[in-house]
Chain A
Amino acid sequence: MAIVSTTNLSKTYGSGIFRKTHIDALSGVSLSVEHGQIFGLLGPNGAGKTTFIKLLLSIAYPTSGEASVLGYPLGSVAIRQNVGYLPENHRYPPFLTALQTLVHFGRLHGIPRLRLLDRARSLLALTGLSDWANVKIKKFSKGMLQRLGLAQALLADPPILFLDEPTDGVDPIGRKEIRDILTSLRREGRTIFLNSHMLSEVEEISDRVAILNKGRLLHVGSVQDITAHRLEYEIHLATSPPADVLSALRALCKHVEVSGNRLTVHLSDQGQAQAVLDALRAAGLVLESFSPKKSKLEDYFIQLLKPREEA
């Protein structure tokens, strides 16, 4: 079941009073997010990632197109009742303590008072802020504010979370903890919509990703598909290969890259792998490792965006 579904969702912002200039923040984006997934939305600055979330939560309104969240059409109060949202660069009233902040936003969400205190305390524990519960948040670091933001997003126990750069400003240990929280939330059956610049993180925890650039959707697919090896192998040898071996390999493979005693070979089909190994053994070279090269999400991202940037 699609938890989030959009069809040709577009947003054009106008600026200027006398001479209106129009900026297409989002152009005809159609995608769907399934239940229980971590869905990563990627893109460079200004790609339209935040605008996309704002449209889904009716913080901004679409110029055209349709969308639904949890089966409710855009603008429905039921959407806001059932989602948790962590905005980018969120600002909480600095005079409140962490616990008061959660109580305040919980009350605005309509959570009953008796349940709210317990819920707030357990979320502070989950995000590692129990010891800071009664400290005013003006004393919090960026990382602590992010954790508090995550706790705030989880207050209403929502089936879907929209997180805009949740690990921004968080130290590596904190990032790992947030990743662990997100994966445990997925295990509980929650859907997480994640906007992030941290491609390695998205790759690590997301099931599917969408890549946006200049408001246009360039790719939607599973992380597995993107990062799956495409008949590329990395070979580590004990010594650098001689020229005659390289010539033999180039005759066998589509492409060969050499860097010292490390080779990357691109094959036409799986069967060629055995032939490559035979050629290396025949030359008497000592093989340290032979492994399929897994491409990184980052490589794919750059590969996808680079031609467009150059154009």
Chain B
Amino acid sequence: MKALWLSVLTFRESVLKGTLVFFFIVSNLILLFFLVALGVSEEGGTTSLTLFGSIISPRGIEGFNAVEFILRQLFGGSTFWVLLFGLFATAGLVPSMLEKGTVELYLSKPLSRASLLLARSAGACSGIILNLLYFAILIWVIFGIKAAVWHGGFLLAALCTIPIFFFYYSIVAVTALMTNSTGFSIMFALIYYFFSSALAAREQVLYIWWDNPFFQRFLDVLYYATPQISSMIESASELIGPDFMRMRVMESAGGFDPLPFLWSLLSSSLLYAFAAWYFARRDY
């Protein structure tokens, strides 16, 4: 209960800092856009989706599903936005707990340091996740009401962002604890975000750059030992529908793969455990 209370306060802190309110406003603007722009046209016996009255055309792709296409783009865009924005909005919450005059207050309470850290991290993530769920559920409702498509896969994909952000935050928590710096945590987490995309595509990109078995194994280890952000987003997107771009290039559809989530659960658990261990040993 004590840890839960700290999470609630952390959530409240992130709301009162204003960044989450900004995020909430942007979410509402996008929702308003779809509420106004989305429509259905029934011409020539076929039902098509419209944006501001223009039919979203299939562009010659067999099996093209406009709803899935839009939802996939929305999911991809909002996840990128959530991770990036969430990072800026929450990266300061761990260092601010470690500030002189604050950390002593928390450490003098009958809570373990691991609980303090995890509760603070959970509180930091909860604001972002709640905002994303609000956005996803309303988008789902708008598509349901205006296009009569109640796409459960989209909701499942949105739910997948909860662990994705929490796993990603393990990088922020470790960096923040070790450096006490919000700026450095943001920089490192950003670099990691792009690096994770490169690692996910290591076989297509990085292996070619340096054709060395040791280097390739090293990249493999790095990929499995750290949260697989890019792979998790890609896999969650498959819950919405197939990637039509991929189908055009590779002539095969992907599918939801739970492995990136499992590996990321393991690696981020290790990162949180390391952060808790480091925090528990440190003098303040």
Interface residues of A (CB under 8 A from B): 13, 54, 57-61, 77-78, 80-81, 83, 85, 87-93, 95, 104-105, 107-110, 152
Question: Which A-chain residue is minimally distant from B9 (CB atoms)?
Answer: A104
Q: How many residues of B contact A (CB 8 A)?
A: 25
A107:B108 contact, CB within 8 angstroms: no
Q: A85-B104, A108-B106 are in contact. List 14 more A-B contacts (CB 8 A).
A: A59-B283, A77-B110, A78-B110, A80-B108, A80-B110, A87-B105, A88-B101, A89-B101, A91-B102, A92-B105, A93-B13, A95-B12, A105-B109, A108-B109
Cβ 8 A contact of A110, one of B103, B107, B110: B110
Q: A54-B284, A104-B9 are in contact. Are A59 and B107 (CB under 8 A)?
A: yes
Flag if A109 contacts B13 (CB, 8 Å): no
- Which residues 43-70 in B have Cβ within 8 Å of A in the complex? none
Contact A105 B284 (CB under 8 A): no
Closest approach, in angstroms, between the C-beta of B246 and any C-beta of chain A? Answer: 46
B191 at interface by CB-CB < 8 Å: no
> CA separation between A78 and B110, bound complex, in Å?
7
Top 6 nearest A-B pairs by Cβ distance? A60-B283, A91-B101, A87-B104, A85-B108, A107-B5, A95-B16
A54-B109 in contact given A95-B13, A104-B9, A110-B1 (Cβ < 8 Å): no
Known: A61-B283, A89-B100. A109 touches B109 (CB 8 A): yes
In angstroms, how far is the closest chain B Cβ from the Cβ of A122? 20
Query: Which among B1, B102, B108, B112 has the highest number of chain A CB atoms within 10 Å?
Result: B108
Kindly list chain A residues whose C-beta atoms are within 8 Å of the C-beta of B102. Answer: 90-92
Q: Which residues of B contact A88 (CB under 8 A)?
A: 101
In the bound complex, CA of A90 to CA of B283 (Å): 17
Query: Please, which residue of chain B has its CB at the minimum distance from the CB of A51?
Result: B283
For A152, the chain B residues whose CB sits under 8 A away are: 105
Is B2 interfacial (CB-CB < 8 Å)? yes
Contact A93 B283 (CB under 8 A): no
Residues B62-106 near A (CB distance < 8 A) = 99-106
Interface string of B214-239 (1 = CB under 8 A from A): 00000000000000000000000000
Cross-chain pairs A/B with CB under 8 angstroms, 15 sampled: A59-B104, A60-B284, A77-B110, A78-B110, A81-B110, A87-B104, A89-B100, A91-B101, A93-B9, A104-B5, A104-B9, A108-B106, A108-B109, A110-B2, A110-B110
